[in-house]
Copies of this chain bind each other. A is one copy, B any other.
Amino acid sequence: MVAYCGAVADDLFKALADPTRRTILDELTEKSGQTLFEICSRLSMKHQLGISRQAVSQHLALLEAAGLVETRREGRYKFHELNTAPLRQIAERWLVADTSGPEKGTP
């Protein structure tokens, strides 16, 4: 089972590489099911991010491609919901059978 090593993992890690996208995930964690404008407002108000609507839209598209965000349309509104499932693969890739702390200095 090496599914997480392919292009899917690439999309996932690339999506997480940007601080703005991580902040969007934070916002969706706090309140899932927000519209584009709602996310824009929160980024501007709470995080002082002077960013255009289109920029946020592109970020959301990347997050959706990575499977971290799922969308649902209702009329002219499009709601964005967080999906944390892909995140579970990350830790499992390198934390396999290693529940101990970091063994730095040889004791």
**B94 & A91 in contact (Cβ 8 Å cutoff):** no
Bitwise, A12-29 to B at CB < 8 A (1) or not (0) is 011011010010011001
Give the chain B neighbours of A17 by CB distance below 8 A: 13-14, 16-17
A29-B96, A84-B94 as given contacts; A16 in contact with B19, CB under 8 Å? no
**A19 & B10 in contact (Cβ 8 Å cutoff):** yes
Q: Is A88 at the interface (CB under 8 A from chain B)?
A: yes
Stretch at the interface among A34-42, A53-61, A98-106: A98-106
A interface with B by C-beta (< 8 Å): 5, 9-10, 13-14, 16-17, 19, 22, 25-26, 29, 70, 82-85, 87-88, 90-91, 93-96, 98, 101-102, 104
